[in-house]
């Protein structure tokens, strides 16, 4: 039996003991996970520094605080989330108990990505634990230091039979995908998302696909450009642009393009100094393969800011591309790096049709002081999320369902949404064995007299 098969079998056996049905067990596991995060912060920080050159404060801010918040929320709300949810009754069910009972699905497979490897792998795990499932955790092999530390630490802090970690790359993941799961929660690119869904279909396993794509950012000319560009610069270059909801490209009118470039240039200097390479808050590209891919994407476009690179360090400076053509290389795939193309359009209408001619994005950003422009963008486009006058921050709101639509994904999570996504919402109707007279109408023979009753 392979390592992958063993992990799944072990998780299923643990689930079948029924221990994860107890809320006290789930809360204990969640608290253990919280303890892991606070006690082993140094190991986590080290792993992320080695994988992505993330700083200690950056790790706190972009990975740990969110995880702790989600754990605290689940611990404090679990009793409420897991309780029966009464529904409205009809005349025919007035004396029955009618409710929804969330129940665990069984064994969940969680496949994580490498860009925020702790956040995107452990956040679904929090929901899986809260909902009473067993879970097989497959961290991304691309962030290899994190994968190793995650494997060591989860087995030390959690019930390792219920939540085994399987490390490895494509062959190991494919072997895992042959197994039968009760849900698969995948974070990564859309191409692999399709393979995951195909494998899941063989067992009729439901999936959550947290994918990516090109998230557009429209800057209206009626807008405080200094503030808009400050927020966009932050959203684009944090984690070196390797953020699934990073603004991928800017759409704006030609008349404001140069001011946008000036403002972004100022912000890059302010955030990352004149030499981002020496700045501890500026990251690195995850590996040489992605470094080469990104350098290739610049070809054929006009670089107006940055553009310098050092392959030995996987470093690419914050880069802005001007007057980019919609057919250029950089517009053919999700950038996922520190390159920001600007495409000029004649106004809001053309920006909307540009967006609508492409796949539905994970996030859509609009910067404007004009409520009508924001409203128009909202009503005439579709995307996983829409933000006006800011970037990324919707990720931190646990009450907002986080996820894509169309090519950017299916299903959603965060807060109670993760709990619901990884639960079966079972319909329950409990009737008493009396008041049989009420039921006469439904029993044959269906005489006219019964219908009048």
Per CB under 6 A, residues contacting ligand NAD are 111-115, 120, 138, 140-142, 169-170, 173-174, 187-189, 192, 195, 210-212, 244, 334, 336, 362, 409
Minimal distance in Å, beta carbon 171 to ligand NAD? 9
Nearest to 125 by CA among 110, 114, 140: 110
CB of 322 to ligand NAD, least distance (A): 25
Residue of 63, 70, 210, 334 with catalytic role? 210
Strands (E) located in 112-205: 134-138, 183-187
Rg of the chain on CA atoms, in Å: 25
Minimum separation from the CB atom of position 417 to ligand NAD (A): 13
- Residues 6 or more apart from 251 whose CB is under 8 A from it? 216, 217, 218, 219, 342, 343, 344, 345, 351, 354, 355
Closest CB to ligand NAD among residues 138, 284: 138
Tally Cβ neighbours within 10 Å of residue 156: 12
- The verdict on whether 210 is a catalytic residue reads yes
Classified as helix, coil or strand, 103 is strand
Distances (CA, A) of 296 to 188, 213, 307, 329: 21, 18, 12, 8
Tell the residue number behind the tokens 């634990």, with chain if given: 129
Nearer to ligand NAD, 157 or 402 (CB): 402
Out of 244, 252, 314, 391, which one is annotated catalytic? 244
Q: Which is nearer to ligand NAD, 188 or 306 (CB)?
A: 188
Q: Which is nearer to ligand NAD, 146 or 257 (CB)?
A: 146
- For 430, the enclosing helix (H) or strand (E) is strand 423-430
Return the residue nearest ligand NAD (CB atom).
Answer: 212
Shortest Å, Cβ 292 to ligand NAD: 14
Q: Are 207 and 200 in contact (CB under 8 A)?
A: yes
Active site residue 63: no
161/359 with CB nearer ligand NAD: 359
CA distance 428 to 325: 56
Active site members = 210, 244
């Amino acid at each position: 039996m392979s390592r992958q098969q063993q992990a799944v079998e072990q998780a299923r056996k643990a689930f079948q003991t029924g221990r994860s049905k107890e809320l006290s067990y789930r809360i204990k596991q969640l608290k253990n996970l919280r303890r892991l995060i606070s006690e082993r912060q140094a190991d986590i920080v080290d792993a992320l520094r080695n994988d992505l050159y993330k700083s200690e404060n950056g790790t706190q801010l972009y990975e740990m605080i969110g995880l702790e918040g989600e754990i605290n929320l689940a611990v404090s709300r679990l009793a409420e989330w897991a309780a029966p949810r009464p529904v409205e009754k009809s005349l025919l069910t007035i004396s029955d108990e009618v409710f929804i009972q969330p129940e665990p699905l069984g064994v969940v497979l969680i496949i994580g990505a490498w860009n925020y490897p702790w956040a995107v792998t452990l956040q679904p795990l929090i929901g899986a634990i809260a909902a009473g499932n067993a879970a097989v955790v497959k961290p991304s092999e691309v962030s290899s230091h994190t994968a190793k530390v995650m494997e060591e630490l989860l087995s030390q802090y959690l019930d390792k039979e219920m939540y085994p970690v399987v490390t490895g790359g494509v062959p190991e993941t494919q072997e895992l995908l042959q197994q039968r799961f009760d849900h698969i929660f995948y974070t990564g690119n859309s191409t692999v998302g399709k393979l995951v869904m195909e494998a899941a279909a063989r067992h009729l396993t439901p999936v959550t696909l947290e994918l990516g794509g090109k998230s557009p950012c429209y800057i209206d000319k009626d807008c405080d450009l200094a503030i808009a560009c400050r927020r966009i610069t932050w959203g684009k270059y944090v984690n070196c642009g390797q953020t699934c909801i990073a603004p991928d490209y800017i759409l704006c009118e030609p008349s404001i393009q140069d001011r946008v470039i000036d403002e972004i240039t100022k912000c890059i200097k302010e955030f990352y100094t004149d030499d981002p390479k020496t700045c501890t808050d500026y990251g690195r590209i995850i590996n040489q393969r992605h470094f080469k891919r990104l350098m290739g994407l610049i070809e054929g476009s006009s670089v107006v800011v940055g553009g310098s690179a050092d392959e030995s360090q996987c470093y690419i400076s914050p880069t802005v591309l001007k007057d980019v053509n919609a057919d250029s290389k950089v517009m053919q795939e999700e950038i996922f790096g520190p390159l920001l193309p600007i495409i000029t359009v004649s106004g809001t209408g053309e920006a909307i049709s540009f967006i609508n001619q492409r796949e539905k994005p994970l996030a859509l950003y609009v910067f404007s002081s004009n409520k009508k422009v924001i409203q128009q963008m909202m009503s005439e486009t579709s995307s996983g999320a829409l933000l006006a006058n800011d970037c990324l921050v919707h990720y931190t709101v646990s009450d907002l369902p986080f996820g894509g639509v169309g090519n950017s994904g299916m299903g959603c999570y965060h807060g109670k949404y993760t709990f619901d996504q990884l639960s079966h919402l079972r319909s329950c109707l409990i009737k008493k064995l009396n008041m049989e007279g009420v039921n006469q109408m439904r029993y044959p023979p269906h005489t006219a007299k019964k219908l009048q009753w």
